[in-house]
Amino acid sequence: MKGETEVGLRKIEITRNTKNSSKATLKKLTEMARIIDDLLLLSKTDTKDIELNMESISLRDLVADVCISMKIFANNKKVNLVVNELADVRLIGDELKLEKDALEYPGKRDKVHQEGGVVAVSSYTNNGYAYVTVKDNGTGNIAG
């Protein structure tokens, strides 16, 4: 369904209403696919079919690497990606899983896709917890 919808959106002769409807359908299909992927991962984790590679990782390096990857995406969308201060802290986690989740996160928010927008990323620690914030000049802020 997702592939057929994407092909349909590429056709020049579709009407504006059809295009808007197809975009909404594609968005919902993408969200459903992510939910299914997350449920499968949780299921595998619960049944011990998948092992997380828990290791000490640098939050600063992880966020910086993700921002470098996202810079191409941001430039294509004419969004200015600004990296502010990043906390120099180590945490225990599965670096590949965290990086994958972080790369998917901005795509979940439509306002990140607005042309001419500004997205600012930073990280900090507070009372033993590490935080990553993503702020934009859209209708709200993203925090995680």
> Tens of pLDDT along 112-121?
456 778 888 8
Indicate which CATH number applies to the domain containing 101. 3.30.565.10
Give the pLDDT of residue 105.
62
Q: Which of 11, 35, 51 is the last residue of a domain?
A: 51
| DSSP one-letter code for 120 | E
Query: pLDDT per residue over 10-38, tens digit each?
Result: 766 677 777 777 777 877 887 787 778 77
DSSP string, 87-113: ---EEEEEHHHHHHHHHHTGGG-GGGG
Task: State whether 35 and 63 are in the same domain.
Answer: no
Contact 8, 22 (CB under 8 A): yes
Rounded percentage of the chain residues whose pLDDT exceeds 90: 12
Flag whether the pTM goes above 0.85. Answer: no
Task: State whether 104 and 131 are in the same domain.
Answer: yes
Domain that holds residue 130: 52-144
Task: State whether 16 and 85 are in the same domain.
Answer: no
